[in-house]
Amino acid sequence: MASAMRCAVLGDPVAHSLSPTLHNAGYAALGLDWSYDAVRVPAGGLAAFLAGLDETWRGLSLTMPLKREVLDLADEVTDRARLAGAANTWVRGERTLVDNTDLPGAVAAVRERYDGPVHSATILGAGATAASTGLALCELGATRVTLLARSPERAAETAAAIRRHPAEPEVVVGSLADDVASGEVLVSTVPADAQTPDLLARCTGPDAVFEALYEPWPTPLAALARDSGRALVGGLDLLVHQAVLQFEMFTGRPAPLAQMRAAGEQALAARAGA
Could you give the residue numbers annotated as active site? 67
Q: Which of 46, 34, 33, 40 is nearest to 17 (CA)?
A: 40
Q: What's the CA gap between 221 and 233, in Å, rounded? A: 11
Q: What is the SS3 assignment for 125?
A: coil
Q: What's the CA gap between 30 and 244, in Å, rounded? A: 13
Considering just the CA atoms, what is the radius of gyration of the chain in Å?
18
Q: Where are the beta strands (DSSP E) in 55-175?
A: 57-62, 76-77, 89-92, 96-99, 120-124, 144-149, 170-175
Residue 19: CB partners within 8 Å, gap ≥ 6? 9, 36, 38, 61, 239, 243
